[in-house]
Amino acid sequence: MHSTSNLPSSPSELISHFLPPISVRLSSVMQDDNPVLRTMLEDDVHLRETNERVVALTEESWRKVRAEVEPLHELLVQAEAKTQEESFQGRGTG
C-alpha cells in the first residue's frame, strides 16, 4: 500500500522536485563551506536575521501544507485501492 513517505519531507525536497536550479542555489546559501556568504552573514546582522526569518516562515508554511496534503494523499490512496478492488471484482463476475 502507498504511504506518505514518498511525499517530500521538507521544503528543500519540494523545491528540488520542481525547480532544481533554485534548490541548488538555496542549498549553497545554507552551507557553511560558502565563505563569501558566511562572511556576509557574520558581518550583516540584518541579513542573518532576515535569512533566519525566511527559513522559519518557510518551515512553518511547509508544516501547514503537509498537514493538509497528507490526509488528502491517504484518501487518494484509499480511493485508488477501492477502484482497483472494484475493477478486479467486476472482471471476476464477467
> What pLDDT, in 10s, does the model give residues 34-92?
777 777 777 788 887 888 899 899 999 988 998 988 888 888 889 998 888 888 777 76
Please work out, in degrees rounded to the nearest 5, the angle formed at the alpha carbon of residue 40 by the alpha carbons of 38 and 45: 105
Could you report how far apart the first and last alpha carbons of the chain are, in Å? 27
pTM comes to 0.42
Can you give the C-alpha Rg of the chain in angstroms? Answer: 21
Residues 69 and 71: their CA atoms lie apart, in Å, by 6
